[in-house]
Copies of this chain bind each other. A is one copy, B any other.
């Protein structure tokens, strides 16, 4: 099946927003085995939208619209498509009721234009909007499939994942639904991971193994069609075992979570707590860990000691360690060790993690940009210090340093 994604919205043509919907929809269609040959963006203009529909129909079996389902006069997608198909717009009563109830519960009078969000093309299937008011539409007309999704990603995504996907599968005539599992990796680059799995990726067709590139993350999606979840899991497990045999030490999760979330889970499971002492990363490690909901029980606290005076004052690191002709300096293996150990003791935590290094733009202590030391101090164990030479701009070096430290912490935790 050939598909075209048509995003409707003048704000896209003005560059006010980026078309993340096209990416999300493309990923989903790829997962379903539907080929996307074109993505089109058109403004809130009836004539040009109609033209896009005509062109799309001539070259695709499925037109997937996003945007233009809202209450204003600019929201034209349903009107234009209904007109093109010579069909009427009818009211979807359940959606209308939801809208009315919302306004009543807020003690507000409903503006008439809100009725527009409950309209649907005659003969179409309503797609429930779990996170907004505009109902989605799906229909088949004259051999072409049409799906209308809302524009805001927080409405579009749940609709596509839920009723949208279900409808697409029914149109594909799939007897067996598709099951997939995301594998998340740390401590290994994307190209390196791909190289190690290349023959599996290329040679295996059920389940399929597809690399998934996303900023700062390395993931693989394993997908298969199966009669039920049990059958699918058995097939996927067998493939995961093949992958694990090659790169298992980097596989930190079989669901879409960042490594810091896995770390918080492992800490919680073992009733242990973490503290951090950061120099190069300036609080990024603490920020990512505490951004995990409910992490307050697992994160005791952290310090951002940018200056030597603060390393001395907050962490009790002797000035003789930090300054002077024979001192190892702030950016050194021994300082990283002391930072991790001392913050662990101060916070009365089970793990202490430290990061010190040079993020740039200039070198420091005569040490080059990209040099990083990080240490993992664990209660009752020998502290381990790692070193890395990272490339990239200032923010990238900081992020890579933090992710490298998290990888080592995760390794220590899962033992």
Contacts and interface: CB of A to CB of B under 8 A. Distances in A.
Interface of A: 12-20, 22-30, 36-43, 45, 48, 51-52, 55, 59, 212-213, 276, 278, 281-287, 289-291, 293-294, 296, 299-307, 309-310, 313-314, 346-348, 360-362, 394-395, 398
A26 B30 CA distance: 27
26 contacts: A13-B37, A14-B26, A14-B30, A14-B36, A15-B26, A15-B27, A37-B43, A38-B42, A38-B48, A55-B55, A282-B290, A286-B286, A287-B287, A291-B394, A293-B360, A293-B361, A293-B394, A294-B361, A294-B362, A301-B303, A301-B304, A301-B314, A302-B304, A302-B306, A304-B304, A313-B347
A304 B303 contact: yes
B19 A15 contact: no
Count copies of this chain in the complex: 2
A325 to B, nearest CB: 21
A157 to B, nearest CB: 13
Given A213-B17, A286-B282, A314-B346, A22 B41 contact: yes
Contacts of A38: 13, 40-42, 48, 52
Contact of A301 (B48, B286, B306): B306
Given A281-B287, A302-B304, A309-B348, 20 more contacts: A14-B30, A17-B213, A18-B18, A19-B19, A19-B22, A19-B23, A19-B39, A37-B45, A38-B41, A283-B290, A286-B286, A286-B304, A287-B287, A290-B304, A299-B306, A303-B304, A303-B314, A309-B347, A313-B347, A314-B314
A19 B38 CA distance: 13
B16 A18 contact: no
Nearest to A36: B13
A280 to B, nearest CB: 9
A14 B39 contact: no
Given A15-B24, A30-B14, A39 B41 contact: yes
A25 to B, nearest CB: 7
A346 B314 CA distance: 8
Contacts of A301: 303-307, 310, 314
A26 B12 contact: yes
A406 to B, nearest CB: 14
Nearest to A24: B15
